[in-house]
Amino acid sequence: MAAKPAILAVDDDAPVLRAIERDLRARYAEEYRIIGAGSGAEALETVRELTRRGDPVALLVVDQRMPVMTGIELLREALQLQPDAKRILLTAYADTGVAIDAINDIRLDQYLLKPWDPPEEQLYPVLDDLLGDWMAAYRPPFEGLRLLSGRWAPRGHAIRDFLTRNQVPYTRLDPEVDEEGRRLVESLDEPVTAADAIVLFPDGRVLRNATHRELAEAVGLSTTAALPFYDLVIVGAGPAGLASAVYGASEGLNTLLVEREAPGGQAGTTSRIENYLGFPSGLTGSDLARRALTQARRLGAEILSSQEVATIRRDDPYRTVVLDDGAELSCQVVIVATGVTYRQLDVPGAAALAGRGVFYGAATTEAILYRDEVVGVVGGGNSAGQATVHLARYASRVHLLVRGDGLGATMSAYLVDQIGALENVEVHTMCETRSFSGADHLERATFVTPDGDVEIDLAAAFVFIGQQPRTAWLDGVVARDAGGFILTGPDVGPQLGWNLDRDPFLLESSLPGVFVAGDVRHRSVKRIASAVGEGAMAVQFAHQYLADR
C-alpha cells in the first residue's frame, strides 16, 4: 500500500511541538501521517527521506522562530523537494510583518498566531481548506521502483533492459529533463553524475550503479539455490530452457533453472511474434516468457536469477554445475540452453557509444525514448524486421540497413510485407556499417554502399547482425563446432571423447548426461517453436539416460 500523505510539524519548543502533533492527530490521523521534527535540520532531512521514498508531503506547519534555521528558511529549502506541499507559518504577533513578506517570497499559504486555541475555531478551518485544495490536485505517485538516470548513461540502459525483461515495474526519471528527477537528485546525500544510474525503492533504499545481481536480490528474485542437489539443472531461460523446466517439473524431476539475465532469452526481447502456433493474433516475446515462467513455477521448478554458470564438472555418477560466484550444485542431468547473442560490430565508435545510442537488440526497452526521432536498424533477419516494425510506431523515420540485396532471402514474408506497408521505414540494401560517431552519444553513422559512403544522422542504431553461441564457458567440457555451437547426437563419436557402449542420444553432448536444446546446438533450427520442441525432447532423453543408469 502507498504511504499516507504526510503532514510535517516543526517546532524547537518540545511542549509546543507535542501540542501541534496532538491537535493534528486528533483531526487528520486517519487520512494523513503526522510527523514531528524538533529543528529545521531534522525537518529538512525528513523531507529528503520522504522525497527519496516517493512519499508526498501535503502540509508543512513550521514555527518561524527557531535557532540556526528559521521557519521561512526551512520552507524555502523544503519546497525545492516538495513544491506542491501547502505551507503554514506559526508566528508570534511581532512576526506578522515577516510572515506577510513570506507570502510573496515563498508563496506562503497562511500564517497562524500562537496559541491557536481552540483548534476547532483557530486551526482546523484553515487546515481543512488547505488540505482540501491539496487533495483536489493530488495525483498518487508511482509506487514501484524509480530509476534516476540520464538518457545516455550506459548503466542506465543496462538497468532499464534488466528491469523490463524481468517484468519489474519501474519509472525512469531524467534529472536533466524531469522536475521530479531534479528533486530526487537534491534529496540524495551524494552528487549524481551524468554516467550514474540510481535505483530508488519505495522503502527508501538507494542503489547506485547496481549490478544485475544486486538488483535481482533487491527486487526479491532468488539468487541462491535452495538445495545442494537436483535431478535436473537447466542452464539458460530462453524458450528451450523454459520448455525444459516446464516438462521436467511436470514429470516429477526436482528441477532448477539458472538464468544470468532475464527469462525469455533473445526471444524475450522480440516486440511481436506472429508465427507461433496457437496465437493467431501474435504475442510479444515478454508475454511468452512471462507465461512460460509462471507455468514452470506453478509446476514446481525453482528459478535462479542473475547467476551465471562458470563450468560443468564430471563427478560420476553425477554432474556438478559450478556458478561464477564459486557455489556448486550437484545434479543427475544438465540441459544446456544458453542460446545465442548478437554479434557486436567491430567498427570505429561502436564500443565507445554502446549504450549511448548504439544498442544490440533492446528495441522493446528503448523504443519509447526515441519518439519522433530518426533511428536505424542494422540487420536483415527476423529480429531486425520485428525491431523495425516496433520502432516505426515511435520514431519519425526508421532506416533499415541490410547487407544483402533484399529482405526476402533472410526474413519471413509476413515481416517483409509489414515493412513494405510502413511509410516511415526506408530500406537500404547492399550496405555495411563503416563507423558511428557523436560527442557523448550517437549522432550519425556512416555506411558503405555500391555508390560510395553514405552518412545518416541517427539518434540511435539497433544492431542485429548474426549470432554467436554462449558456449565459451564450456571450453574443454563438451565438443563444439568451429563456430562454437555444441555438437550432439550423431555428430559425437569416440574421436570427440565419447566412451560409453551406447550411442549418444539425439540431443546429448560429448559429455554423457549433458543435453543441449535450442539455438546453442549445432545445426539447430533457429525458430522459437523448434527451441521449445527441443527443450521438451531433452527432458525425455534425460529420462532415458536416468533409466539406463
Question: What's the count of helices (H) and strands (E) in the chain, helices before strands?
Answer: 15, 26
What DSSP designation does 415 have?
H
Average pLDDT over residues 275-300: 90
Same domain, 335 and 479: yes
Report the CATH number at residue 182: 3.40.30.10
- CATH number for 370: 3.50.50.60
Distance CA 456, CA 375 (A): 9
Cα–Cα distance measured from residue 326 to residue 310, given in angstroms and rounded to the nearest whole number: 8
User: What is the C-alpha separation between 89 and 66, in angstroms, rounded?
Assistant: 12
What pLDDT, on a 0 to 100 scale, did the predictor assign at position 435?
97
Task: Identify the domain boundary among 107, 137, 167.
Answer: 137
3-state SS, residue 135? helix
Q: Which tens digit of pLDDT belongs to each residue from 449-480? A: 998 999 999 999 999 998 899 999 999 999 99
Cis link prior to 115 (omega < 30° from 0)?
A: yes
Residue 2's pLDDT band (boundaries 50, 70, 90)?
low
Same domain, 247 and 330: yes
- Residues with Cβ within 8 Å of 423's Cβ and at least 6 positions away in sequence, in order, are none
- Which of 410, 437, 466 corresponds to the end of one domain? 466
Confidence check: pLDDT of 155 > 70: yes
1 in any annotated domain: no
Report CA-CA distances (Å) from 183 to 8, 77, 126, 174, 248: 18, 11, 28, 11, 49
Q: Is the pLDDT of residue 384 over 90?
A: yes
What domain range is 153 assigned to? 145-208
User: Is 217 part of a structural domain of the chain?
Assistant: no
In the block, residue with C-alpha cell 519546497: 79
The reply to whether 485 and 542 lie within a common domain is: yes
SS3 breakdown of the chain: % helix, strand, coil, rounded to 5? 35, 25, 40
Can you list the positions of beta strands (E) in 100-221? 110-113, 145-149, 170-173, 197-200, 206-208
- Going by their DSSP bridges, the two strands 33-37 and 57-63 should be labelled as unpaired
Q: What is the pLDDT of residue 461?
A: 97
Q: What's the order of all strands across the beta sheet hosting 145-149?
A: 170-173, 145-149, 197-200, 206-208
- 186-245 per-position pLDDT tens digit: 999 888 898 899 999 988 899 999 999 999 999 999 999 999 999 999 999 999 999 999
Does residue 20 carry a pLDDT above 70? yes
Q: Is residue 362 pLDDT above 80, yes or no?
A: no
Does residue 221 lie in a domain region? no
Q: What pLDDT does 272 receive?
A: 82
Residues 533 and 437 in one domain: no
The Cα–Cα gap between 120 and 107 comes to 25
Q: What is the mean predicted confidence (pLDDT) over 299-313?
A: 97
Question: Contacts by 171-180 with C-beta closer than 8 Å and gap 24+?
Answer: 171/142, 171/144, 171/145, 171/146, 171/147, 172/146, 172/147, 173/146, 173/147, 173/148, 173/149, 174/149, 174/150, 175/148, 175/150, 176/150, 176/151, 177/151, 179/83
pLDDT tens, residue by residue, 43-55: 999 999 999 988 9
In terms of domains, do 247 and 310 share one? yes
Residue 288 domain-assigned (yes or no): yes
How are beta strands 255-259 and 110-113 bridged, if at all? unpaired
| 18-22, 281-285, 457-461, 467-471, range with the lowest pLDDT | 281-285
Contact predicate 520/534, CB 8 Å: no
> How far apart, in whole angstroms, are the C-alpha atoms of residue 305 and residue 317?
27
Together in a domain, 443 and 364? yes
Provide the pLDDT for residue 377: 97
Closest CA to 267 of 528, 446, 442, 3: 528
Task: Let me know whether 353 and 427 are in one domain.
Answer: yes
Residue-wise pLDDT for 107-137, tens only, equals 888 888 888 889 999 899 999 999 999 998 8
Among residues 531, 390, 370, 515, which one has the least CA distance to residue 457?
Answer: 370
Asked if 10 and 130 sit in the same domain, the reply is yes
The pLDDT score that the predictor gives to residue 309 is: 97
pLDDT digits (tens, 9 = 90+) for 73-106: 999 999 999 999 999 998 876 667 787 888 878 8
pLDDT of 493 reads 82
Of 446, 466, 486, the residue at which a domain comes to its end is: 466
Instruction: Answer whether residue 219 is part of any domain.
Output: no
Same domain, 249 and 233: yes
Q: Is residue 224 part of a domain?
A: no
Assess whether pLDDT exceeds 80 at residue 1: no
Q: What is the rounded average pLDDT of the residues 361-381?
A: 91
Please state, rounded to an integer, the average pLDDT across all residues of the chain.
Answer: 92
Q: Is residue 70 situated within a structural domain?
A: yes
Could you tell me which residues come within 8 angstroms of residue 363 by beta carbon, excluding any fewer than 6 positions away? Answer: 269, 271, 377, 386, 387, 390, 391, 462
Q: For position 314, what pLDDT does the model report?
A: 96
Q: What number is the average pLDDT over the span 521-545? A: 96
Residue 277 shares a structural domain with residue 330: yes
Band of pLDDT at residue 325, cut at 50, 70 and 90: very high
Q: Does residue 474 share a domain with residue 461?
A: no
Would you say residue 338 has pLDDT above 70? Answer: yes
Which residues, other chains included, contact 515 with Cβ-Cβ below 8 Å and sequence gap of 6+?
A: 333, 334, 335, 336, 488, 505, 507, 508, 509, 538, 541, 542, 545
Phi (first) and psi of residue 196, to 5 degrees: -80, 150
- Neighbouring CB atoms inside 10 A of 503's CB total 12
543 alpha carbon, distance to own chain's centre = 36
Please report whether residue 301 resides in a domain.
yes
* pLDDT tops 80 at residue 439: yes
Domain count of the fold of the chain: 4
CB 237 within 8 A of CB 308: no
Same domain, yes or no, for 49 and 157?
Answer: no
Q: Which helix (H) or strand (E) holds 89?
A: strand 86-91
CATH number at residue 80: 3.40.50.2300
pTM above 0.75, yes or no: yes
Ranges assigned E (strand) in 32-85: 33-37, 57-63
